[in-house]
Amino acid sequence: MLEDLYIAPPDETIRKAVLQNWNSVLSPGEDMGILSELTADYLMMTDGRGIRGLKPVMLLMCGDHGICKYGVSAFPQEVTLQMINGYGRGTAGANVMARHAGADIIVVDVGTNFDLHAFSHVRQCKVAWGTEDFTQGPAMTREQAVAALETGMRIANEAIDNGCNLLETGEMGIANTTATAAIAAGFLDLPAELTTGRGSGINDERMKIKTDVVRRGLEVNQPKPGDGMDVLCKVGGYDHAGLAGMMLAGAARHVPTMVDGVNATAAALIAYGIDPNCARYMLCSHLSSDLSAKKMLEVLRLKPIVHAGMRLGEGTGASLAISILRSALDTYREMTGA
């Protein structure tokens, strides 16, 4: 599946036509700002088909991380299980904001450290019981990375077959911001100090531990800058891999992805490292407050739709941005008669 991937660039003439339509209905000096740009980008990415309206689906990829044992997060690994349970009840922030955005949620176990078979709302696609400790060697084998990527691709394709025309990223896995910091550092060839943020709001003591874990992972594994697969295998997570696969599959079928916070941005960087054309089918929901987010977005050439100081993840920022996109498309249709 991965080896057969082909992503064609989007048709820029569609984007130009949409912007011209906007300009034709606005008075001199009027400017819809990000709404006109967002509408033009989305319709270009969907070959114009998105004009019929949005049908978004969030793929919420779940995976645990072997480096959690070092205390890099403010929360224990068991919170992964608790949050997944909450998705089934529909009480988590991810559920509430997805409902407001009109998005369905598919929760996927790509690599948690828990047996989730009792949860009927979870797709059982476990590649491994969490990643390995990347301070001691690679987080996963290449075979495991491919399996996780193809899991994301397969489920994205199913969603698209069922009418989805906008994919939305969601993720859950305690300690995943540590893996994200390592992905950003490895891919961008930066020191750990420039990519490691406070994630779940950790204190100074945990911050020192987290930075040291990222530094050790880079020293032990020596990931190749710009090589998405190599970086994923050495310091990534199964949640990152599932999301990256989703983005690649969507791009191949001209279905864009609304990229959420810093963890999803790291997954986008992995996907970009596998096929750079996929970034041309990405929309960025918001500027994460985490340290490495801006650096990764610069490489991906993505501009955030919302600046709201959010640090929540799980697709919440993406849901907020989808509501804005829906309003932009509705306004465009009504004003231009498209």
**Strand order through the sheet with 104-111:** 122-124, 104-111, 56-63, 166-172, 257-259, 282-286, 304-306
Cα–Cα distances in angstroms (integers) from residue 206 to residues 86, 133, 168, 226, 289, in the given order: 27, 17, 31, 29, 18
Contacts of 78 (CB under 8 A, 6+ apart): none
The separation between CA 3 and the C-alpha centre of its own chain, rounded to angstroms, equals 21
CA 113 to CA 331: how far, in whole Å? 45
Q: How many whole angstroms separate alpha carbon 84 and alpha carbon 59?
A: 13
Residues annotated as catalytic are: 314
CA of 320: how far to CAs of 5, 164, 167, 279, in Å? 30, 18, 14, 20
Which residues contact residue 282 at a Cβ distance below 8 angstroms, ignoring those fewer than 6 apart? 247, 251, 256, 257, 259, 268, 300, 302
> What radius of gyration, in Å, describes the C-alpha atoms of the chain?
19
Q: What is the rounded CA–CA span in Å between residue 278 and residue 255? A: 10
How far apart CA 317 and CA 262 sit, in angstroms, is 11
3-state secondary structure of 37: helix
